[in-house]
Amino acid sequence: MPDRRSFLQSALAVVGATQVPAATSAPTPAVPATPAAPPQPLHLNINGRDYSLSLEPRVTLLDALREHIGLAGTKKGCDRGQCGACTVLVDGRRINACLTLAVMHEGQRITTIEGLAQGDRLSPLQQAFLEHDAFQCGYCTPGQICSATGLLEEVRADGAGFTDDEIRERMSGNICRCGAYPNIVAAIREVALRRS
């Protein structure tokens, strides 16, 4: 009967024999990067102001707002349309700015969080979010407020009720990692009831 040492030596020999040395071949040529499309002229109306830009057609609306125009209120969260931090309004409808290209919105009215206040006077929703402590870290707040602004217009147009469940359902695309949902719903409800 083999002892432990003999067994380990033979096992290591088998393992060593099954190891295949790396093939020595010419290095695989690198895949060339996809060339960037040439920048195109683009005119966007954001918060009532016209911007003339020159952007590559693949630039998202989110990146155009943040990196090319300097409106950093719209946040980049997941960059996959799952968190709602980048929500803006386009012709009054809420969209995820990370999922759309800037070139798709020429001739449309884009509203970001910076465009909701009237000078130093906050919008009713912005004021309600403050009064109800509807945020903690605040990262999702611009998207929440833009989404809630769109929600109020949708519900007004649909004639739907403003139950808390309806608000939660319509705001389900906006994630708050801090869990401020009860206060968010209360802020939206207050503004909705004021408008009715």
* Whole-number Å distance between alpha carbons of 50 and 19: 65
Instruction: Give residue 175's pLDDT.
Output: 97
Phi, psi for 50 (deg, rounded to 5): -90, 135
CATH number for 157: 1.10.150.120
3-state secondary structure of 115: helix
Pairing of strands 49-55, 87-90: unpaired
The sign one gets for the Cα dihedral 148, 152, 153, 158 is positive
Q: Answer yes or no: is 23 within a domain.
A: no
Kindly report the CATH number assigned to the domain that includes residue 65. Answer: 3.10.20.30
96 and 63 together in one domain: yes
- Please enumerate in sequence order all residues whose Cβ is within 8 A of that of 165, keeping only pairs 6 or more positions apart, or say none: none
Judged against a pLDDT cut of 60, whether residue 172 lies above it is answered with: yes
Nearest to 165 by CA among 189, 139, 148, 147: 189
Each residue's pLDDT tens digit, 137-163? 999 999 999 999 999 999 888 877 789
The C-alpha atoms of residue 41 and residue 36 are separated, in whole angstroms, by: 15
Structural domain boundaries enclosing 147? 117-196
Task: Quick: pLDDT tens for 48-103.
Answer: 999 999 999 999 999 999 999 999 999 999 999 999 999 999 999 999 999 999 99
